Amino acid sequence: MSADTQASRSHAGFGAGAALGAFLIWGFAPLYFKAVEHVGAWQIVAHRILWSVVMLGLLLLALGRLHEIGDVLRSRRRFLTYCATTALVTANWSVFIWAVLNGYLVQSALGYYLSPLINVLLGVAFLGERLSRAQVAAACLAAAGVLISVIGAGEIPWIALALALTWGFYGLIRKRERIDPFVGLMVETAFLLPVCLAYLLWLWSQGAGAFGPLAAGGEGWAMSLAIMASGLITGLPIVLYMIGARHLPLSTVGLLQYLSPSINLVLATLVFEEPLRPATLVTFGFIWAGLVLFTIDATRRARLPVAPRHGVG
């Protein structure tokens, strides 16, 4: 075996381990949010943003890239773009945490299963991409699944749709504007930092703050350290995901991404004892069938040889 082959396998193994770590953290994150649920959803979101800024700031400082934050905001277009992505990622985080704390993790898992199919539709609508027959069939199966949920359960799965749509549009804008993952998330969370700090200081003045030795409930630094971990839970999987995406084929990363909602679904039904109604189970069945078609098609396309380009480029 040549040295190049060994190095390639080593990088692939490292990338697979990193990507797996990212999706495992995202999958088991509801356990963390349940452990601190008495803090309240909005206070959790505020602390998540605060400690994400701290962690990402330290990371960019270590990488010597902290100066890039100012560079990306010199354009009015960039500023407005970050306003949009900040609103979308905040909405996504808030809905997810609220869903976990209020017994809707099954719907949350449904939303993240829908995300790849929503991304395909957004690519058609906004990027001029064309659907293959398999992708059309996958999208139709997903739509049928949602319709069955509406008819069978008598309600629109708004949590699932909100998560899938906010995450889909967030990814779409980032892709079109070529936003760096680390710098982008740092800017987005920094935009919200003043509001979050003001809210947390107000809670502290009312005796309802959950951070510090005099925190409400008398839990002191133990709870404070648990809350600080929200930054690690937010930032670490992003770093691991980027490492994995750099060293692995896109099709492999695409397959691994279903691990997180699968873990969410297992936690929801077996640990948190959320009901899995027949209509919801049928909905999952349709969406899983669509994802199988989508994954087979994506894997086949990834293996096709790239046609050589001719002419002056």
Confidence of residue 302 (pLDDT cuts 50, 70, 90): low
pLDDT in tens, 41-76: 899 999 999 999 999 999 899 999 988 888 777 888
Q: What is the pLDDT of residue 196?
A: 94
pLDDT tens across 94-119, in order? 999 999 999 999 999 999 988 888 88
Residue 70 is predicted with a pLDDT of 82
Output the average pLDDT for the chain.
84
Q: What angle do CA 184, 185, 191 make, to 5 degrees?
A: 95
Mean local confidence (pLDDT), 165-176: 90
CA-based torsion, 121, 175, 55, 190: positive or negative: negative
Distances (CA, A) of 36 to 10, 23, 92, 192, 210: 38, 21, 19, 22, 10
pLDDT digits (tens, 9 = 90+) for 127-148: 888 878 888 888 888 888 888 8
Please state, in angstroms and rounded to a whole number, the distance separating the CA atoms of residues 48 and 70.
23
Provide the pLDDT confidence category of residue 3 given band limits of 50, 70 and 90.
Answer: low
Buried-exposed string 186-216: b where 16+ CB fall within 10 A, e elsewhere: bbbbbbbeeebeebbeebbeeeebbbeeebb
Compute the distance between CA of residue 276 and CA of residue 1 in angstroms, rounded to an integer: 50
CA 44 to chain centre: 17
Task: Please answer whether residues 84 and 172 qualify as being in contact, where contact means their C-beta atoms are separated by less than 8 angstroms.
Answer: no
Residue 116 exposure: Cα atoms within 13 Å on the Cβ side: 26
Structure token digits, residue 5: 């082959």
- Model confidence over 18-37: pLDDT tens digits? 889 999 999 999 999 999 88
